[in-house]
Structure 1
Amino acid sequence: MRTVAAKEVQAALDFPSLVETLREGFRGDVAAPVRHHHSIPRTGEPDATLLLMPAWQSGRHVGIKIVTVTPGNAERSLPAVMGIYLLNDWTTGQPLALIDGPMLTLRRTAAASALGASYLARQDSERLLMVGTGALAPHLIEAHAAVRPIRSVTVWGRSAAKAEALARSLDRSDLEVGFTEDLEGAARGADVISCATLSREPLVRGDWLQPGVHLDLVGAFTPEMRETDDQAIRRASVFVDTRAGATKEGGDIVQPLKSGALSEQDIAGDLFELARGERTGRRTEEEITLFKSVGTALEDLVAAQLVVERA
């Protein structure tokens, strides 16, 4: 059985290739039950979460990702997300590869947002606002820049020092990267807003959204978490990665469903429907679009298959 380390995973999963691999995965026949989600009480810090994410593709592979999400790790200077991916042979069940889970998760999560943006963000989107400074943020920036002509990136975080540090680490010749403490001002000037936080209160307000903006909500993966408010939901055309997952796990969808700001019939499409051409993505230049992802084991499986093919 092969062991594939984080650097090998990142090298194998360039975003142009991974986005197209995910697109084909959502068009295909991968079975991915809704993930098992278990809360683990912690003393003196937020509760941790254990996630079990199985998936299989007939004739190819069976896989499972085992993940822990520990918000308290921020105080330990450790990533919140830890885990491992096990890929098995379809016919025999023999374990084939043990793959670094955090890097696989970072790459496939960012690629799913980029896949959504390929249908929902304006073709001429140049200005990206990154809300959040965690491990996922640089991957989201790279992924969005792979599908849209992003030229300017602004980073906002609860800690201005962390936002500045992330911006400095990302500065490169093809991107102008800076940081801000003015979240509202940055949101009003963005073409794409990507949020990856563990917030339990709305950060981006619907009243701030300008015509034509695309809002990408990646964090807030439990019903109690929230990155935007009901007004954003009311103003936007709402899309999700999967209906089964987002309507049960993502607070940005679950809470508006409970408040009446959103009905399940109002959800304009998911990645299955977009990839298969069953639903239209962005329809006008002025439309506000919103994409909420909570992750699906389908993404992990097809990403793991690409890693094994290339590593």
Structure 2
Amino acid sequence: MIVIGAAEVEQRLSWPELVGALDAMFRGGCAAPPRHHHPFDIPGESAGTLLLMPAWVPGAYLGVKMVSVVPDNGSRALPAIAGTYILASALTGETLAIIDGACLTAWRTAAASALASQYLSRQDSANLLVVGTGALSARLAAAHASVRPIRRIAVWGRDRQKAGEAAARIRADGLDAEPVVDLEAAVRSADIVSCATLSREPLVRGAWLQPGAHLDLVGAFNPGMRESDDAAVLRSQIFVDTREGALHEAGDLVQPIRAGLIGPDAIAADLRELCLGLHPGRRSADEVTLFKSVGASLEDLAAAVLVYEKHRAEQAR
């Protein structure tokens, strides 16, 4: 068994390879049971959430990710998400590697958004708005810029200082990024809007989205959270990473479904159907598309296998 820390995950992964690995895994498929949610109390703070996410390809690899989400970790200058990934042989059950889960999650989450963007955003998308200032903000910017000709990146957050810091992290990756104060104006000028927050109230209004915009909703991961309003959902062609996950966990969809505004059939396709060509994705330059991800264990397994196999290849040299 080997231990692969965050530094090595960073070294082994690249956006083109990871987006390709996710595409291949969605096409090939794997067993991915629903993830387990276990809330846990934190005295004097918002409750945390423990997530367990298993997946396996029969006879090949098996893995499980254990993630804790602590919303108030920002007050301790710590990321809200921490986790560990355990990769094993699906033939013998032998544990092969323990991989830093937080880093792996950040990479695969942003890569899933980039994969969806290849099918859903306009090919000439040049202006990106990142809503949120956490650890995912720079990842999402880099991932989207790896699949579209992004020239300008705006960053919005409730805390102006944190928005400036997030923009600086994006610039450190060689991309043009600046913090913005006016969220409405930023949405109206964006070709792609990528949200990664823990908001419980809508941030992006459908009336603000320009024709042809692509809305990438990453953050809100349970039915009580939401990053977009009803108008955004109603005017968009809706896509998800997995139907089961989205219909049970995505507040951006669960809430309008419960209100009777849309039904489950409003979801045009999931990532597997897009990757297999069972749905064409974007159908016109003026269409507004919405991609909602809540995270899929298939994505974690694809990323973990890529990291592990690249580590093995390096050691064999």
Query: TM-score with structure 1 length normalisation?
Result: 0.98
Aligned-partner SS, 2:257:
helix
1:291 is matched with 291
Aligned-partner SS, 1:171:
helix
Aligned-partner SS, 1:254:
helix
Q: CA deviation at 1:209?
A: 0.6
1:86 is matched with 86
1:275 is matched with 275
Task: Work out the CA distance in 2 between the residues paired with 1:169 and 1:200.
Answer: 26
- Contact 1:19 1:114 (8 Å CA) reproduced: yes
1:114 is matched with 114
Q: CA deviation at 1:29?
A: 2.7
Aligned-partner SS, 1:170:
helix
Is 1:263 aligned with 2:272? no
The 3 A distance-change label for structure 1 pair 182 and 283 is: same
Q: CA deviation at 1:296?
A: 0.6
Letter in 2 for 1:130: V
Aligned-partner SS, 2:247:
helix
Letter in 1 for 2:281: G
The 3 A distance-change label for structure 1 pair 193 and 73 is: same
Matched ranges for 1:237-256 at <5 A: 237-256=237-256
TM superposition outliers: structure 1 runs of 4+ over 4 Å: none
1:186 is matched with 186
2:16 is matched with 16
Matched ranges for 1:123-272 at <5 A: 123-171=123-171, 175-272=175-272
Q: CA deviation at 1:173?
A: 8.3
User: Which structure 1 residue ranges, 5 or more long, are not aligned?
Assistant: none
- The superposition leaves residues 256-285 of structure 1 with CA deviations (integer Å, 9 ceiling, x where unpaired) of 111122211111100010011111200000
- The superposition leaves residues 120-165 of structure 1 with CA deviations (integer Å, 9 ceiling, x where unpaired) of 0000000000000001111010000011011100000010000011
Letter in 1 for 2:248: K
Q: CA RMSD in A?
A: 1.0
Task: Work out the CA distance in 1 between the residues paired with 2:153 and 2:214.
Answer: 14
- The superposition leaves residues 64-90 of structure 1 with CA deviations (integer Å, 9 ceiling, x where unpaired) of 000100011111000111110000112
Task: Work out the CA distance in 2 between the residues paired with 1:21 and 1:170.
Answer: 24
2:315 is matched with none
Task: Work out the CA distance in 2 between the residues paired with 1:152 and 1:9.
Answer: 28
2:48 is matched with 48
1:31 is matched with 31
Q: CA deviation at 1:252?
A: 0.4
1:77 is matched with 77
Task: Work out the CA distance in 1 between the residues paired with 2:243 and 2:173.
Answer: 39
- Contact 1:233 1:261 (8 Å CA) reproduced: no
2:314 is matched with none
Task: Work out the CA distance in 2 between the residues paired with 1:151 and 1:250.
Answer: 30
Q: CA deviation at 1:40?
A: 1.0
- Contact 1:151 1:174 (8 Å CA) reproduced: no
Q: CA deviation at 1:172?
A: 5.2
Task: Work out the CA distance in 1 between the residues paired with 2:26 and 2:262.
Answer: 25
- Contact 1:119 1:274 (8 Å CA) reproduced: yes
Aligned-partner SS, 2:227:
coil
Task: Work out the CA distance in 2 between the residues paired with 1:102 and 1:194.
Answer: 20
Task: Work out the CA distance in 2 between the residues paired with 1:135 and 1:285.
Answer: 31
Q: CA deviation at 1:174?
A: 5.2
Q: CA deviation at 1:49?
A: 0.2
Task: Work out the CA distance in 2 between the residues paired with 1:175 and 1:124.
Answer: 17
User: Which structure 2 residue ranges, 5 or more long, are not aligned?
Assistant: 312-317
Tell me the matched-pair count: 311
Aligned-partner SS, 2:113:
helix
- Identity of paired residues, percent? 56
